[in-house]
Amino acid sequence: MEFLNPEQILSQLDLSRSGMLAADFGCGIGGWAIPLANKLKDGRVYAIDVQEEALSALKMKAEMAKVTNIKSIKANLEGGLGSLIQNNLLDLVLLTNLLFQVKNKKAIIEEAKRVLRPGGRILIVDWKMDSAVGPSEGRVDPAKVKEMAGDLGLSLDKEISAGNYHYGLIFIKPGGYI
């Protein structure tokens, strides 16, 4: 694996439970939301982004791919209302190539925790600190991500392979079945 491959990374998660509910925070035009929706055939993916243009492009891509289990939500994840999703609803939240773009990284992780049911998971994929490609600013060290998640009461489940330029971390919200 060289560059970021959503299908390959998602295959490292247990997505076998029927009716799973997931969210893709900062979904953009659907690079992760569509592959996730394809894996969660009888589930639902909430695709959340602050940019209307990205959500419109996602809707068109999903229609072309005949993917019908994505619900788009326009929301500012750093704002007071966060994702607009109810507490303790989701089985999985994706934070992929998002943390380097936001000022309040901990608030994003906290919002992901809020919407997860006990036992739910957060997948964080972001740029490695020493990657020769990618953004020059905003990268966050995985040790710092682990510290922020730990401060919020999340447990590190495992580190996964996410290609040459990214790291992958999976956290669990305590209190439910695993």
Report, in angstroms and rounded to the nearest whole number, the Rg of the chain calculated over CA atoms: 15
- pTM, two decimal places: 0.95
Q: Which residues of 104-138 are buried (b: 16+ CB within 10 A; e: fewer)?
A: ebbbbbbbbbbbbbeebbbbbbbbbeeeeeeeeee
Task: Give residue limits of the domains in the chain.
Answer: 6-172
Q: What residues does 2 pair with on adjacent strands?
A: none
- What is the CATH architecture assignment of 6-172? 3-Layer(aba) Sandwich (3.40)
Contact 97, 4 (CB under 8 A): yes
Q: What is the pLDDT of residues 53-77, one digit of tens each?
A: 999 999 999 999 999 999 999 999 9
Helix (H) or strand (E) holding 55: helix 52-64
Q: Model confidence over 19-50: pLDDT tens digits?
A: 999 999 999 999 999 999 999 989 999 999 99
Cβ atoms of residues 74 and 113 within 8 Å? no
